[in-house]
Structure 1
Amino acid sequence: MTTLPPGLLPEGLRDRLPPEAGAASRLLRAVQDCMHGFGYERVSPPMAEFEEGLAGRLKAGQGRDLLRIVDPVSRRTLALRPDITAQVGRIAATRLAHRPRPLRLCYGGAILKLHATQLRPERELLQVGAELIGTDTVPAVREILRLAVDALAAAGVEDITVDLTLPDLVQTLAETSLPISADKVEQVRAELDEKDAGAISALGAEAYLPLIGAAGPFDTAMEKLRAIDDGGALKTRLDALEEIAGPIAGKAALTLDPTERHGFEYQSWVGFSLFGKGISGEIGRGGSYTILHQDGAEESAVGFSLYIDPLIDAGLGRRDAPRLFLPLGTPDNEAAAWREQGWRTVAALSESDGGEALGCTHHLIDGEARPY
């Protein structure tokens, strides 16, 4: 067997070094403090669960993204989580099933995917999110979306954009004002997602073509959708979107892509993606969904997940306090006094120690902090 080079890690895994590791902790804390302020209580599920239980709760397709191991204790197959939302659903449906609804939970931790993507080559990611369980009404969605925007702002994200979607749009229209056969619904959904006008026409669903153009800035897209919805089948949905969008209109830019389905396969009536200035790709997504209980009953919920890694890569969370070098023999009480003022202190352990070499921004001379 070939000897591995020292420090080599599996593909898609990496060490977070200073200052990135510190940034990760600060960003996670800032986001979770925001969630705590909204009344959300933290839960912390394990990194691995029995494969059978975890795979059954994951959204469409995620079961293929499980890294599996055999538990030497139970002799059963375990799976490392690729997503924490499903675990929160399990907790809500079992250990916290007795708690009054609506139930507000938040979480944060590492996830591990079997495969990376072109946009994000990392397989281990830091996921943080909040779930409002027991309702998916307009006030619930409005609260969750407001929390998501405030949490990103607390993490230092600027020029936030929220892209809204209606995951059940085609199903709603197919059953009302734009009828198509049941066997074509999924095909039409897929082609609308791809914005393939030719394929939609080939399916005999020309009436759905205007939906492709009904995407863009929120107000413009809403006008186009209301014009398409002559029969009023979408009126309730569109009115709800306007109620949801109102409180965040001044905090984030709003866009609407009513037929976007990729990544929203398990959402019910509303979904959203989150973007920020200078950050590549999505930094989070959420929406309404249902949680399955042991008796087969489904419970409504709404929530979102954010990914901290893109924020770290964009340089957020690195606002460290200055580092003060303390000469050899500095009294402990003097060092403590500087820390109480917000300084990070680095004490010399030998005469050969140098503060500048140790990454300090200042050194202590005659009782004063002087910059290098």
Structure 2
Amino acid sequence: MPNWLLPEHIADVLPSEARKIEELRRLMLDNFRRYGYELVMPPLLEYVESLLAGAGQDTDLRTFKLVDQISGRMLGLRADMTTQVARIDAHLLNRATVTRLCYAGPVLHTRPSGLHTTREPLQIGAEIYGHAGLEADAEIQELALASLELAGFSEVRLDLAHMGVLRAILDLDPAAGKDQIAIVQLLRAKDVAGLGELTAAYAPATRAALLALPNLYGDVDILKTARAALPDLPGIAKALAELAALAASAIGRAEVAIDLADLRGYQYESGAMFALYVPGLPNAVARGGRYDHVGEAFGRARPATGFSMDLRELARLLPTADRKHAIRAPWGNAPELKDKIAELRKAGEVVIQSLPGHSNEQDEFECDRALVLDDSGSNWILKNLG
């Protein structure tokens, strides 16, 4: 086996792709800051007990684990930054007011989430802590849509769901509550037959409501169908009203769909949830939602909502950027030459000095000008190369 061969679903990022990713990262983080979000940088690894606190089984299975040579304790390489940022809010910042935090960094997965996905996503996201109202959910949804608009995506589909619907149904029947993990898996797969077998012994009202969920998907009008098909419970009424408000706030910016069985964020989500899709990719490019209970694991429960996306996956969908115009300059230590190169670089130009005996070959730059001496041999000027 060649010693340079990388593990499956792990890949180098070459210059032109790396530039796209980095420009997206800077663009989005700058926009987060304009909304008032403060940047934090959680560590790549920490003790497993802390890293997985508040997370679900899915996160545990995706997390690489190793033994710390200093303490002898088990460490984990983060598979998701959301719980880390929740720990920072609850345990380190410990503010009483609303806190807006954002982040960007690599995460590692033991297994890829799809056939052509990487096990080393570059996760970027934003979170709001301390406000339980729908206003925070609406702001996070708006910020996620704005992020895709900044990246150049004009055709976006917003899929909405709400964990409150399922929670209200499960609260009706203790037997259903015990099977909630299996129920969620069947709902995700829209396995109506399997759901029918599992719920055969449930109370009739609970069983009917659960069997209705896989078919409650479509445009905003599906909310009317849901109100008629589901039990008249305060939790369900509240959830459907929140979905209607979030859908209304996105009209004009995205195609809106609602799917009450799309519970793929179930591991720690507690309220409204959303996923964003763009042409060219079957998977969601961004996911977000409310997760009010994660902070409890760190001793301080705080209302929380946020979203995240993988910049590497997003960059793959974007066209290759045009090569940047650059200036070719000869190698030399003459003060006049060095001063001219410094002046050009300070003005924002890319100046590439040709090392002796080599030609320039770059993926990102096209030298359309050259720095040469004028006819007098005393002044450095720019010459167009055509």
Same fold (TM over 0.5): yes
Alignment partners' CA distance in 2, 1:125 and 1:291: 22
Alignment partners' CA distance in 1, 2:116 and 2:258: 24
Choose from 301, 305, 316 the match for 2:308.
305
2:185 is equivalent to residue 190 of structure 1: yes
Q: Map residues 101-120 of structure 1 onto 2, 5 A cutoff.
A: 101-120=97-116
2:128 is equivalent to residue 132 of structure 1: yes
Q: Who is 1:170 aligned against?
A: 166
Q: Structure 1's 181 and 60: CA in aligned 2 closer, same or farther, altered over 3 A?
A: closer
Q: Which amino acid aligns with 1:318?
A: A
Choose from 246, 262, 265 the match for 2:264.
262
Per-residue CA distance 1:306-334 (angstroms, 9 max, x = gap): 11111222235835532222244582343
Choose from 196, 200, 207 the match for 2:195.
200
Which segment drifts farther, 44-53 or 271-280?
A: 271-280
Structure 1 residue 108 displacement after superposition:
0.6
Q: Which amino acid aligns with 1:119?
A: L
Q: Who is 2:286 aligned against?
A: 284
Higher helix fraction: Structure 1 or Structure 2? 2
Q: Structure 1's 285 and 181: CA in aligned 2 closer, same or farther, altered over 3 A?
A: closer
Normalising by structure 1, we get a TM-score of 0.87
Q: Who is 1:15 aligned against?
A: 12
Specify the SS of the correspondent of 2:308: strand
Q: Which amino acid aligns with 2:47?
A: F
Q: Which amino acid aligns with 2:66?
A: I
Specify the SS of the correspondent of 2:83: helix
Alignment partners' CA distance in 2, 1:24 and 1:220: 38
Q: Map residues 325-340 of structure 1 onto 2, 5 A cutoff.
A: 325-328=328-331, 331-340=337-346
Alignment partners' CA distance in 2, 1:267 and 1:5: 43
Alignment partners' CA distance in 2, 1:43 and 1:319: 32
Q: Structure 1's 346 and 123: CA in aligned 2 closer, same or farther, altered over 3 A?
A: same
Normalising by structure 2, we get a TM-score of 0.84
Q: Structure 1's 320 and 27: CA in aligned 2 closer, same or farther, altered over 3 A?
A: farther
Per-residue CA distance 1:286-343 (angstroms, 9 max, x = gap): 1001233467452220011111111222235835532222244582343344435543
Choose from 321, 325, 340 the match for 2:324.
321
Alignment partners' CA distance in 2, 1:69 and 1:187: 30
Alignment partners' CA distance in 1, 2:385 and 2:154: 31
Q: Structure 1's 87 and 214: CA in aligned 2 closer, same or farther, altered over 3 A?
A: same
Structure 1 residue 55 displacement after superposition:
2.3
Q: Map residues 60-139 of structure 1 onto 2, 5 A cutoff.
A: 60-97=57-94, 99-139=95-135
Unaligned 5+ residue runs, structure 2? 201-206, 373-380
Specify the SS of the correspondent of 1:292: helix
Sequence identity (%): 28
Alignment partners' CA distance in 1, 2:106 and 2:224: 41
Q: Which amino acid aligns with 2:267?
A: E
Q: Which amino acid aligns with 1:264?
A: Y
Per-residue CA distance 1:88-131 (angstroms, 9 max, x = gap): 1111111111x232111111101111122333442111001111
Q: Structure 1's 238 and 207: CA in aligned 2 closer, same or farther, altered over 3 A?
A: closer
Q: Who is 1:345 aligned against?
A: 351
Specify the SS of the correspondent of 2:149: helix
1:355, 1:363 within 8 Å by CA — same for their partners in 2?
A: no
Q: Structure 1's 220 and 341: CA in aligned 2 closer, same or farther, altered over 3 A?
A: farther
Per-residue CA distance 1:123-163 (angstroms, 9 max, x = gap): 11100111101123200000111111112222223312211
Q: Who is 1:235 aligned against?
A: 237
Alignment partners' CA distance in 2, 1:125 and 1:187: 28
Q: Which amino acid aligns with 1:347?
A: Q
2:373 is equivalent to residue 362 of structure 1: no
1:264, 1:271 within 8 Å by CA — same for their partners in 2?
A: no
Q: Structure 1's 213 and 337: CA in aligned 2 closer, same or farther, altered over 3 A?
A: same
2:146 is equivalent to residue 150 of structure 1: yes
Alignment partners' CA distance in 2, 1:357 and 1:112: 30
Alignment partners' CA distance in 2, 1:137 and 1:34: 23
Q: Who is 2:255 aligned against?
A: 253
Structure 1 residue 29 displacement after superposition:
0.9
Q: Map residues 21-36 of structure 1 onto 2, 5 A cutoff.
A: 21-36=18-33
Q: Structure 1's 319 and 44: CA in aligned 2 closer, same or farther, altered over 3 A?
A: farther
Per-residue CA distance 1:47-69 (angstroms, 9 max, x = gap): 11012221224333211222122
Structure 1 residue 201 displacement after superposition:
3.3
CA RMSD across the alignment: 2.7
Q: Structure 1's 357 and 50: CA in aligned 2 closer, same or farther, altered over 3 A?
A: closer
1:167, 1:265 within 8 Å by CA — same for their partners in 2?
A: no
Q: Structure 1's 120 and 132: CA in aligned 2 closer, same or farther, altered over 3 A?
A: farther
Which segment drifts farther, 234-243 or 329-338?
A: 329-338
2:162, 2:243 within 8 Å by CA — same for their partners in 1?
A: no
Q: Structure 1's 187 and 109: CA in aligned 2 closer, same or farther, altered over 3 A?
A: closer
Q: Structure 1's 248 and 343: CA in aligned 2 closer, same or farther, altered over 3 A?
A: farther
Q: Who is 1:46 aligned against?
A: 43
Specify the SS of the correspondent of 1:304: strand
Alignment partners' CA distance in 1, 2:208 and 2:294: 35
Runs of 4+ residues deviating >6 angstroms: none
Which segment drifts farther, 322-331 or 160-169?
A: 322-331
Q: Structure 1's 216 and 339: CA in aligned 2 closer, same or farther, altered over 3 A?
A: farther
Alignment partners' CA distance in 2, 1:349 and 1:187: 64
Specify the SS of the correspondent of 1:131: strand
Q: Structure 1's 243 and 320: CA in aligned 2 closer, same or farther, altered over 3 A?
A: farther
Query: Number of aligned pairs?
Result: 365
Per-residue CA distance 1:213-249 (angstroms, 9 max, x = gap): 22122x2322322332473643222222222233322
Specify the SS of the correspondent of 1:164: strand
Q: Who is 2:377 aligned against?
A: none
